A and B are shown apart, each in its own frame.
Chain A
Amino acid sequence: MKNTLRNVFHSPRFLVGFIIFMIILLTVLIYPWFVHRDPLQGLGKGFLEPGTYLSVYDANDTDTYRVELPEAAANRLEASLPTEDRQMMIDYLKAMGVDVSGLDTSNEKMEDLLVAWNANYDEADAKKNKYEGFATQAKRNALRRLDNKIKSSNSNVTMSVVKGEGDDATVKTVNGNDFVKVDEVANSVNLPLGTDNFGRDTLTELVEATGISLLIGLIAGSIATLLGLLVGLLAGYVGGVLDDILMFIANIFTVIPGFVLLILIYSALGAESRGIVTCAVIIGITSWVWTARSVRSQVISLRNRDHVNLSKLSGHSLFRIVTTDILPYIASYVVMAFILQVSSGILAEAQLSMLGLGPNPNELPTLGLMMNWAKLFGAYTSSNAWWAYFPVIMVIALISFSLNLMNTGLDQVFNPTLRD
């Protein structure tokens, strides 16, 4: 046993797969110790980009420190008017027939550009004249948004924050070189993976969902393996009429595409009754067939070995023969099959949830459900929110990659024909 384990862990493939899998598993177990947040609680409003969010309200109440940053003014200008916006301003002035020979997008010429813009841009005029290249509604809207931005971002004035109303109001003046220390701001939230369409913290949700998907995979894999093992052992060892009956059932399951069967069962169940365990059990009982068939064929080849016959002659019971004389010989295969079943169970859940047939979405997140909602709210079309689906895809891929690596690693160790 010790030797086998050492062999297994000497297989680089198995080791890599095992490490990846353990990292995922440990993250799922440890993460909730550090972040106590309900994974289904809506924090933001819709998709928020990944990043750290500071409360503006609290930042105004925090002590300010004077920091003279030489590039502050340039940064501010670049942030409020990026180069492409400046280029658009020049293009528009040109289309209007204004002389733009002295203008460019550099910071130095910014002042001139703004003067020229403010002197010439007029929303009604843009609408009426439909200058070439700016005739469409979309372009004119872009110009108007740009103009609003210019008007609201005049950076040469001090900013005042007024708190309260009437005589009780206190006024605070904010200067360009006032800074706050980030960790002194009372409220800030770090969202490494942003939020999803419901405004939920994607990372917390992802960790929770990974745990649940692993659980579904584990339950589904266990059921499928146990069922397949039982059927395979009985059919293979007992043989005869029992074999015929069991293989008849298995053949029926083989010819009906498993996924179609899953879809039918799931939609017949209805969303309310699709709990995690129910989902896992259904995946399990529709995917035992291949395990059963391979176990059966191996058992048939073992059935007439000498040691089995000896056991039979010694009058050992069926149970004892199967557990002591047959099972150990196919154990390595069963372990490998189990790993693959877990992997395919997770994938089956993800696929079904992606189709909107997953577990009840109100109670718990799963990887597939996260993908489904991301799809429904246009995360990869209109909403442009890669963080809502890409990390999920990565986790699914990593889980099944690590499990498959472990499987091939084991294969290398146990399968004599593949041994180096």
Chain B
Amino acid sequence: MKKLLSLVLALALVLSMVAIAGAEEAKDLPREETLYFGGQQWDPIVGYNPLGDNMNNGLILSAAPRGTRTVMFETLYMYNALDGKLYPLLADGDYVWNDDLTELTLKIKPAAKWSDGTPVTADDVVATWDISTKIQNGTYTGYSPYIESIENKDGDVLIKAKLNDEGKPANPLQVLDFLTGVYIVQKEWAEALCAKHNDDATAIRTDPTPDAVYSGPYGPYFANDQLVAFVRNDNYWGQDASMWGKLPAPKYMAHTIYKDNDATLVAFQAGQIDVDQQFIANVQKLWEEQGLPVATYIDEAPYGICVTMPTAWYNMDIPVMQVKELRKAIAMAVDYDNIIENAMTNQSPSFADVPRSVMNPTDGEQALFDHDAVKDLQWVGKDVEGAKKLLDEAGIVDNDGDGWREYNGEKISLKACCPDGWTDWQAAMNMVAEAGKAIGVEIIATFPTWDQYQTVFTKGSQTEYEIFMWSPPGAEPAAPWARVRALMSSEFVGVDNNWSGNFGHYKNDRIDEIIKQIPLTTDEAELKALYTEATKIYLEEVPSFSLMYRPEVFHAVNETVWTGYPEKDDGNNIPPMDCTDGYGIAALYNLELVK
């Protein structure tokens, strides 16, 4: 009897666990019709609300100017990280600025429709902005410093820029970010949502809205604790000749929720994931040694498009870091090739290939400054003798003979840190510490937990760590201006909870002027002169230094089921952005089954 009872109890326990786990029942996903993703969704989703925040729905809600994921909801334009251009999505043709860059006008594509069949109109764009303003969501906080209002002008969208004290637009480049970075929602649906919650901003932002009206090619299919899946809307407006001319190839999109990177990688190797967004150490061994049908955008190092530069920042709040020569000497002594080969397993161009500047390695940005003018200022690294000489000349020497140099009679001891568990960064910080050892400057690499780290480096002022790591913006419509600003603008000095830039609190009046001037400059020669000057200042002053180049999203594909992914020089100009980000979504229309 006892045995029976315990058996029944155990069974009940198991059944109840199963019942909890499978909150929403899994539906059929034929492998030959499904495109599986990896590395984009961690933990179960919260909801589908494009106006909300913290929906944790990686496959459809990832708004970033560099490439917004337009799977379910769509933006006006798509950013292409390859050529830096904007491609119309809901918008029709190019946008038009007025001469003062205070007003931007754009048309809406006549073919564009919502999933309920009604057309997308300028009113929807207006409502997106107005309701965002009302409920003060991320769109509002991100763009309200630059956008005054959005209006419907005879069926077109008119965006009025916010003006500064001098009557000039605050920042036209950030207005362009709005075009690629904000999901447009249907007016009727959004108003109904507001009415449902009696205009309670928090309730609106946290409503999961599983029934949201959308304009993109895929809608919700099912989601549970193990998997989230989307199904193609076969009435998608984009099959109109004015857009893609056909439907995307996969009928379903799915993302299994894995525990961590390792689990994801194992699934990717087994062909259970088609498109994987994760750093894979020595990715080439997957095909060279394991013979897997795996490919990356480029067949050889660096395997992807590197658009950002993980950077080591010097903390100017600490007096010893004010010494320009010390900053430069450390940066000169670091063995970058070693970082790139060991930490990044060669998935970055070297600083000999792409000499350092404020630009990322893309051709578009590299063309924006005068390479000869800054040639003498660029360093390749591992220049221990040069660094020692620089320090000796600056009077930073070892007087007491303990092997470490002193500043004002005190031994220099610097702490260099990055978050624990961020493998390639940790390895890079170790190598910065080694460079310090080589030139007689003590640098101790430490790895605080992420929780601790994020509060330290975003503080308005801190004297705990001398060197720390973060990346400036990568590719986006406002780049490279946005990067120059993030690297050196004094507007961030003393600002608490600062995630935007200049984490080391560097100050330079001239660079502030340049940062103000660039967005308002349209003449190309003038622009080039400004960027060259900014690069010069950055390389002379060394408020921070890049450690490597790195892709913003990793893109590796397993061609077990699908093929036809973007590859370098295929003539399609589709960026390797996981077949979903920005103009990268164009890849979905070229996919074919292997068999």
Residues on A lying within 8 angstroms of B by beta carbon are: 42, 45-47, 127, 135-139, 141-142, 144-145, 197-199, 267, 270-272, 356, 361-362, 375-378, 381-384
* Interface pair B448/A270, CB less than 8 Å apart: yes
Q: Report how far A384 CA is from B288 CA in the complex, Å.
A: 11
Q: For residue B192, give the distance in angstroms from its CB to the closest CB of chain A.
A: 46
> B498 within 8 Å of A by Cβ?
no
Contacts of A142 in B (CB 8 A): 287
Q: Report how far A203 CA is from B71 CA in the complex, Å.
A: 50
Contact of A382 among B280, B295, B444, B557 (CB under 8 A): B280
Evaluate whether A137 and B295 lie within 8 angstroms (CB atoms) in the complex, with A384-B285, A384-B290 already known: yes
**Chain B residue, CB-CB nearest to A357:** B420
* Interface pair A378/B290, CB less than 8 Å apart: no
Q: Tell me which residues from 381 to 439 in chain B have a Cβ below 8 Å from any Cβ of chain A.
A: 420-421, 423, 426-427, 430, 433
* Interface pair A137/B563, CB less than 8 Å apart: yes
Q: Quick check: which of B21-29, B209-217, B261-269 contacts chain A, the rest being far away?
A: B261-269
* Interface pair A138/B293, CB less than 8 Å apart: yes
Knowing that A141-B299, A272-B446 touch, tell me 5 more A-B residue pairs with CB under 8 angstroms: A45-B341, A271-B420, A362-B445, A377-B423, A381-B265
Q: For residue B249, give the distance in angstroms from its CB to the closest CB of chain A.
A: 14
Contacts of B266 in A (CB 8 A): 381
Q: Report how far A135 CA is from B593 CA in the complex, Å.
A: 10
Residues on B lying within 8 angstroms of A by beta carbon are: 262, 265-266, 269, 280-283, 285-287, 289-290, 292-295, 299, 338, 341-342, 345, 420-421, 423, 426-427, 430, 433, 444-449, 452, 557, 559, 563, 565, 567, 570, 592, 594
Contacts of A144 in B (CB 8 A): 299
* Interface pair A138/B342, CB less than 8 Å apart: no
Contacts of B345 in A (CB 8 A): 46, 377, 383
Q: For residue B48, give the distance in angstroms from its CB to the closest CB of chain A.
A: 33
Q: Report how far A145 CA is from B563 CA in the complex, Å.
A: 19
What would 29 A/B residue contacts be, using CB atoms closer than 8 Å? A46-B341, A135-B563, A136-B295, A137-B295, A137-B567, A138-B287, A138-B292, A138-B293, A138-B295, A138-B559, A199-B342, A267-B449, A270-B448, A270-B449, A271-B448, A356-B420, A361-B426, A362-B430, A362-B433, A377-B423, A378-B262, A378-B280, A378-B282, A381-B266, A382-B285, A383-B285, A384-B282, A384-B285, A384-B289
Contacts of B420 in A (CB 8 A): 271, 356
Contacts of A145 in B (CB 8 A): 299
Contact of A135 among B269, B295, B426, B594 (CB under 8 A): B594
Contacts of A361 in B (CB 8 A): 426, 430
Contacts of A45 in B (CB 8 A): 338, 341-342
* Interface pair B294/A138, CB less than 8 Å apart: yes
Evaluate whether A376 and B423 lie within 8 angstroms (CB atoms) in the complex, with A42-B338, A136-B594 already known: yes
* Interface pair A139/B293, CB less than 8 Å apart: yes
Q: Report how far A384 CA is from B592 CA in the complex, Å.
A: 30
**Chain B residue, CB-CB nearest to A270:** B448
Q: For residue B129, give the distance in angstroms from its CB to the closest CB of chain A.
A: 41
Contacts of A199 in B (CB 8 A): 338, 342
Q: Report how far A142 CA is from B295 CA in the complex, Å.
A: 10
* Interface pair A197/B594, CB less than 8 Å apart: no
Q: Report how far A272 CA is from B453 CA in the complex, Å.
A: 14
Contacts of A356 in B (CB 8 A): 420-421
Q: Which among B299, B342, B446 has the greatest number of chain A C-beta atoms within 10 A?
A: B342
Contact of B265 among A136, A137, A378 (CB under 8 A): A378
Q: Report how far A33 CA is from B423 CA in the complex, Å.
A: 33
* Interface pair B281/A197, CB less than 8 Å apart: yes
* Interface pair B282/A42, CB less than 8 Å apart: no
Contacts of B299 in A (CB 8 A): 141, 144-145
Contacts of B421 in A (CB 8 A): 356
**Chain A residue, CB-CB nearest to B299:** A141
Contacts of B452 in A (CB 8 A): 270
Contacts of B342 in A (CB 8 A): 42, 45-46, 197-199
Q: Report how far A407 CA is from B578 CA in the complex, Å.
A: 56
Contact of B262 among A47, A135, A141, A375 (CB under 8 A): A375
Contacts of A136 in B (CB 8 A): 293, 295, 559, 563, 594
Q: Report how far A381 CA is from B426 CA in the complex, Å.
A: 20
Question: How many residue-residue contacts, CB under 8 A, span A and B?
Answer: 98
Evaluate whether A46 and B567 lie within 8 angstroms (CB atoms) in the complex, with A272-B444, A362-B433 already known: no
Contacts of B280 in A (CB 8 A): 378, 382
Contact of A137 among B338, B427, B444, B557 (CB under 8 A): B557
* Interface pair A382/B293, CB less than 8 Å apart: no
Q: For residue A261, give the distance in angstroms from its CB to the closest CB of chain B.
A: 18
**Chain B residue, CB-CB nearest to A376:** B423
* Interface pair A382/B282, CB less than 8 Å apart: yes
Q: For residue A49, give the distance in angstroms from its CB to the closest CB of chain B.
A: 10
* Interface pair A271/B282, CB less than 8 Å apart: no
Q: For residue A386, give the distance in angstroms from its CB to the closest CB of chain B.
A: 11
Contacts of A127 in B (CB 8 A): 570
Q: For residue A205, give the distance in angstroms from its CB to the closest CB of chain B.
A: 14
Evaluate whether A378 and B281 lie within 8 angstroms (CB atoms) in the complex, with A45-B338, A135-B594, A137-B567 already known: yes
Q: For residue B391, give the distance in angstroms from its CB to the closest CB of chain A.
A: 23
Contact of B287 among A47, A141, A270, A378 (CB under 8 A): A141
Q: For residue B590, give the distance in angstroms from its CB to the closest CB of chain A.
A: 12
* Interface pair A137/B286, CB less than 8 Å apart: no
Q: For residue B332, give the distance in angstroms from its CB to the closest CB of chain A.
A: 19
Q: Report how far A52 CA is from B449 CA in the complex, Å.
A: 40
Q: Report how far A138 CA is from B266 CA in the complex, Å.
A: 18
Contacts of B449 in A (CB 8 A): 267, 270
**Chain B residue, CB-CB nearest to A375:** B262
Q: Report how far A16 CA is from B174 CA in the complex, Å.
A: 73
* Interface pair B286/A382, CB less than 8 Å apart: yes
Q: Which among B293, B421, B433 has the greatest number of chain A C-beta atoms within 10 A?
A: B293
Q: Report how far A136 CA is from B274 CA in the complex, Å.
A: 13
Q: Report how far A325 CA is from B526 CA in the complex, Å.
A: 95
Contacts of B427 in A (CB 8 A): 197-198
Contacts of B594 in A (CB 8 A): 135-136
Q: For residue B241, give the distance in angstroms from its CB to the closest CB of chain A.
A: 25
Evaluate whether A383 and B295 lie within 8 angstroms (CB atoms) in the complex, with A45-B342, A272-B446 already known: no
Q: Report how far A361 CA is from B431 CA in the complex, Å.
A: 13
Evaluate whether A381 and B448 lie within 8 angstroms (CB atoms) in the complex, with A141-B295, A197-B281 already known: no
Q: Report how far A196 CA is from B565 CA in the complex, Å.
A: 33
Q: For residue B158, give the distance in angstroms from its CB to the closest CB of chain A.
A: 44
Q: For residue A267, give the distance in angstroms from its CB to the closest CB of chain B.
A: 7
**Chain A residue, CB-CB nearest to B286:** A382
Q: For residue A149, give the distance in angstroms from its CB to the closest CB of chain B.
A: 12
**Chain A residue, CB-CB nearest to B265:** A381
Contacts of A46 in B (CB 8 A): 282, 341-342, 345
Contacts of B286 in A (CB 8 A): 382
**Chain B residue, CB-CB nearest to A273:** B446
Contacts of B570 in A (CB 8 A): 127
Contacts of B444 in A (CB 8 A): 272, 362
* Interface pair B447/A383, CB less than 8 Å apart: no
* Interface pair B446/A271, CB less than 8 Å apart: yes
Contacts of B426 in A (CB 8 A): 361
Q: Which among A139, A375, A381 has the greatest number of chain B C-beta atoms within 10 A?
A: A381
Contacts of B290 in A (CB 8 A): 384
Contacts of A382 in B (CB 8 A): 265, 269, 280-283, 285-286
Q: Report how far A362 CA is from B430 CA in the complex, Å.
A: 7
Q: Report how far A137 CA is from B587 CA in the complex, Å.
A: 14
Q: Report how far A267 CA is from B420 CA in the complex, Å.
A: 11
Q: Report how far A56 CA is from B417 CA in the complex, Å.
A: 38
**Chain A residue, CB-CB nearest to B447:** A271
Q: Report how far A198 CA is from B430 CA in the complex, Å.
A: 10
Contacts of A381 in B (CB 8 A): 262, 265-266, 269
Q: Report how far A127 CA is from B572 CA in the complex, Å.
A: 13
**Chain A residue, CB-CB nearest to B562:** A136
Q: Which 9 pairs of residues, A with B, have the shortest CB-CB distance?
A: A136-B559, A137-B295, A45-B341, A378-B281, A383-B282, A138-B293, A136-B563, A376-B423, A138-B295
Q: For residue A123, give the distance in angstroms from its CB to the closest CB of chain B.
A: 10
Q: For residue A247, give the distance in angstroms from its CB to the closest CB of chain B.
A: 32
